[in-house]
């Protein structure tokens, strides 16, 4: 028998079993208190899978829209949320592992997820003006490292002897992609220092950790405990803005990247708000010959706010359909 015939025969043997497995998943009915996080952890022992579960189900624009009575198809190593029009069909062809107890097409409980990443690569102009700075050393050295003694200028209302602060070097200036107004700077974490004494105009400090070059002019910020458990919540008002920055070494952004937007707590944005990322779609020259046509925006992805300052916020991109750039538009999800 030829090799080609053997391959065809193998495919005929294997494909029916694969198709059968795909067409006959187990069905789980969502109960009150279930979350995408918990479902992912329970059935595929991977709580970090839920963003993929959401991303692979395009009919769900907002993960709040998961309610008791909704069905989840359980395949080998992956899950699928069933649209309502599919649920009756699936129930007729497969055995459910949990039967629905009640019909409650209302979102129940809160959804949470874990967020990790560098949320300290951008600083607003306002925050930079209020930051402390390393101004000198005790021995006139140019570069500083762990164990070195330094002198620091800090506002008395933000300085506390005995406390540790993060050290950042200031990089490229960031301007607004539309107005060209200066809005902040890229920053890179360089280590930590501890204030040891207060003097008339400066504080003494010891560098307790160094991961890069530390020079005069590097800034000090309070060590903020990162909020890794994020409670998803709908925005209280419609907001739209722009992506203004991301990690200094990235020109385009995608799923799991952190970006910064030009809206913050003063605008009503809060941690957990869902964002949609879009890009205006330009009509072709042929389309514009007869009339001025406005085409729908190109949907690029979804993100969630994980940190807010007064005028800016950091957001984690949960899913993306194509590369995202500085200057792309964002708007809040209201439902």
Using 50, 70 and 90 to split pLDDT, how confident is the model at 37? low
251 and 205 inside one domain: no
pLDDT at 94: 42
Three-state secondary-structure class, residue 121:
coil
184, β-bridge pairs:
124, 174
Three-state secondary-structure class, residue 165:
strand
> What values do phi and psi take at 317, rounded to 5?
-75, 115
Which CATH number does the domain housing residue 142 bear?
A: 2.40.10
* Residue listed under structure tokens 């960031």: 174
Instruction: Please tell me which residue, 70 or 124, carries the higher pLDDT value.
Output: 124
Indicate the range of 85-89, 245-249, 250-254 predicted with least confidence. 85-89
Residue 260 tokens read as 């910064």
215 and 135 inside one domain: yes
Using 50, 70 and 90 to split pLDDT, how confident is the model at 27? confident
197 and 138 inside one domain: yes
231, β-bridge pairs:
112
269 and 251 inside one domain: yes
Pick the last residue of a domain from 109, 132, 167: 109
Q: How many of the other CB atoms lie within 10 Å of CB of 4?
A: 8
151 and 191 inside one domain: yes
> What is the value of pTM for the model shown?
0.63
Please report whether residue 9 resides in a domain: no
Which CATH number does the domain housing residue 82 bear?
A: 3.10.350
Please report whether residue 15 resides in a domain: no
* Residue listed under structure tokens 């005028």: 311
H/E segment holding residue 207? strand 203-210
User: How confident is the model over 165-208, as pLDDT tens digits?
Assistant: 999 999 989 999 999 999 999 898 899 999 999 999 999 999 99
Report the alpha-carbon distance of residue 235 to residue 269 in Å, rounded. 7
Residues whose CB is less than 8 angstroms from the CB of residue 18 and which lie 6 or more positions away in sequence, other chains included: none
Please report whether residue 245 resides in a domain: yes
Please report whether residue 28 resides in a domain: yes
pLDDT at 97: 42
| Residue 319 pLDDT exceeds 90 | no
Report the alpha-carbon distance of residue 269 to residue 332 in Å, rounded. 9
| Residue 149 pLDDT exceeds 80 | yes
Indicate the range of 34-38, 52-56, 104-108, 150-154 predicted with least confidence. 104-108
Which CATH number does the domain housing residue 299 bear?
A: 2.40.10.340
Pick the last residue of a domain from 56, 80, 109: 109
| Residue 16 pLDDT exceeds 70 | no
User: How confident is the model over 203-242, as pLDDT tens digits?
Assistant: 999 999 999 889 999 999 988 766 667 777 778 888 999 9
Instruction: Please tell me which residue, 155 or 86, carries the higher pLDDT value.
Output: 155
Domain count of the fold of the chain? 3
Report the alpha-carbon distance of residue 197 to residue 233 in Å, rounded. 43
Report the alpha-carbon distance of residue 30 to residue 104 in Å, rounded. 11
Using 50, 70 and 90 to split pLDDT, how confident is the model at 93? very low
Please report whether residue 33 resides in a domain: yes
Please report whether residue 11 resides in a domain: no
Three-state secondary-structure class, residue 102:
coil
Which burial class, exposed, middle or buried, applies to 175 when counting CB atoms under 10 A from its CB (0-12, 13-18, 19+)? Answer: middle
142 and 59 inside one domain: no
* Residue listed under structure tokens 């060209």: 180
Pick the last residue of a domain from 198, 222, 246: 222
59 and 144 inside one domain: no
Instruction: Please tell me which residue, 112 or 294, carries the higher pLDDT value.
Output: 294
Please report whether residue 115 resides in a domain: no
Please give the residue range of the domain that contains residue 89.
21-109
| Residue 246 pLDDT exceeds 70 | yes
Average pLDDT for 146-170: 92
244 and 206 inside one domain: no
Instruction: Please tell me which residue, 44 or 47, carries the higher pLDDT value.
Output: 44
313 and 269 inside one domain: yes
Instruction: Please tell me which residue, 180 or 321, carries the higher pLDDT value.
Output: 180
Average pLDDT for 60-85: 66
According to DSSP, residue 49 is labeled: G
Using 50, 70 and 90 to split pLDDT, how confident is the model at 247? confident
214 and 248 inside one domain: no
Of the candidates 221, 208, 255, the one whose C-alpha atom is nearest the C-alpha of residue 122 is 221
| Residue 31 pLDDT exceeds 50 | yes
User: How confident is the model over 261-294, as pLDDT tens digits?
Assistant: 999 999 999 988 888 899 988 776 666 555 667 7
257 and 317 inside one domain: yes
């Amino acid at each position: 028998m030829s090799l080609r015939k053997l391959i065809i025969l193998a495919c005929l043997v294997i494909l029916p079993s694969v198709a059968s497995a795909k067409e006959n998943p187990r069905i789980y009915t969502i109960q009150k208190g279930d979350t995408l996080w918990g479902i992912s952890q329970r059935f595929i022992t991977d709580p970090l899978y839920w963003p993929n579960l959401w991303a692979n189900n395009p009919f769900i624009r907002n993960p709040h829209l998961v309610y008791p009575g909704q069905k989840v198809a359980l395949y080998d190593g992956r899950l699928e949320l069933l649209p309502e029009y599919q649920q009756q069909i699936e129930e007729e062809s497969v055995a459910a592992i949990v039967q629905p107890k009640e019909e409650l097409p209302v979102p129940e409980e809160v959804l949470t997820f874990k967020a990790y990443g560098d949320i300290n690569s951008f600083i607003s102009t306002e925050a930079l003006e209020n930051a402390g700075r390393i101004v000198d050393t005790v021995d006139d050295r140019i570069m500083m490292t762990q164990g070195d003694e330094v002198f620091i200028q800090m506002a008395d209302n933000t300085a506390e002897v005995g406390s540790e602060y993060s050290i950042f070097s200031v990089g490229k200036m960031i301007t607004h992609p539309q107005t060209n107004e200066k809005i902040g700077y890229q920053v890179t974490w360089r280590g930590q220092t501890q204030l040891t004494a207060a003097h008339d105009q400066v504080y003494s400090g010891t560098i307790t950790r160094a991961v890069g070059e530390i020079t005069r002019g590097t800034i000090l910020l309070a060590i903020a405990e990162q909020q890794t458990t994020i409670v998803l919540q709908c925005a209280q008002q419609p907001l739209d803005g722009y992506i203004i920055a991301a990690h200094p070494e990235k020109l385009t952004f995608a799923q799991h990247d952190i970006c910064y937007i030009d809206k913050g707590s003063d605008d009503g944005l809060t941690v957990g708000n869902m964002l949609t990322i879009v890009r205006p779609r330009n009509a072709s020259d042929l389309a514009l010959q007869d009339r001025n046509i406005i085409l729908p925006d190109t949907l690029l992805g979804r993100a969630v706010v994980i940190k807010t300052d007064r005028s800016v916020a950091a957001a984690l991109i949960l899913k993306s359909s194509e590369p995202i750039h500085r200057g792309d538009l964002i708007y809040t999800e209201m439902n």
